[in-house]
Amino acid sequence: MHHDLHGKVAVVTGSARGIGRGIAQRLAQEGCKLVLNDIAEEALALTAAELREQGAQVLALVADVGSRPQVEAMFAQAEAWQGGVDVLVNNAGWSVPVSHLLEMTEAHWDDVQRTNLKSMFLCTQAAARGMVEAGRAGSIVCLSSFGAARAHRAMAAYDASKGGVEAFTRAAALDLAPFGVRVNAIGPGAIHTEFFDHEGIQGQRQRARPVPLGRVGQVQDVAAGAAFLASCDAAYITGQVLYIDGGMHAQLRPPEMDRPLPAAFEGLRRADPATAHQP
């Protein structure tokens, strides 16, 4: 655990469910005071109540992070609550519904860019201004995707937005470095969240097929990366992207197209990658 995060104020956008919720849980374990944000009011209230029961100090704020007035109001409330923000995790994003390029509407393109990219700019600017004015050496973590570097079919708007997130992360890191504010990104791969529960174990196995490590990731895998980048353990890291994808970004083609494992080692393969022990 990164104990230097104890007492830090962390804003996590899109934290009612999924990866954002997992990141909030990990930061709570690290002792952070949490500002949770989402547009799903009921789910946000449930997550906030759960973390409070575990002893965390939590402020839950419903806000659309694609709206400048709502973002500015959210950070004003966060500063009024604890006097400032030390960590921002830009997690809010949208990946569905998918849309083929030949059928994509302008409205779909605009909605995806607003949710995935404009929100990063608005929240990063608001958080960074507060950090710089208060003299806080803050950390900002942006959620990208392996889709920023390797394309999905029928997801041109999503992949373009995530490519923009990574370019923005590098540029923001340079602008904010003189003030001691670090900006990095995480690129999750195939991560299992509650949204995939209906697919069962067989669904996990199917999603794990092209993953070199042989399993889908868990939200805890991404949350650990976020906690690291937010902490002083990453004090000399800025403008970088940490891919947490089981090796997907590294490979040229899926495993079934490559040579089989050497016969002498075939028996050492994990029997069921989807249910393998999680570290």
Quote the CA–CA distance of 61 and 54 in Å, as a whole number: 19
Contacts 24+ apart (CB under 8 A), 197-204: 201/274, 201/275, 204/274, 204/275
Task: Pick the catalytic residue from 94, 146, 158, 243.
Answer: 158
Quote the CA–CA distance of 138 and 181 in Å, as a whole number: 5
108 CB-near residues (< 8 Å, 6+ apart): 99, 157
Token couple for 45:
């209230």
Per the CB < 8 A criterion, the answer to whether 100 and 154 are in contact is yes
Which regions of 39-161 does DSSP assign to beta strands (E)? 58-62, 87-90, 139-143
Which regions of the chain does DSSP assign to beta strands (E)? 9-12, 33-38, 58-62, 87-90, 139-143, 182-188, 191-192, 217-218, 241-244
Angle (nearest 5°) at CA 235 between 230 and 244 = 50
Residue 158 annotated to the active site: yes
Residue 257: Cβ within 10 Å count = 9
Torsion region of 169: left, alpha or beta (phi above 0 gives left; psi -120 to 50 gives alpha): alpha
Show which residues are catalytic: 158
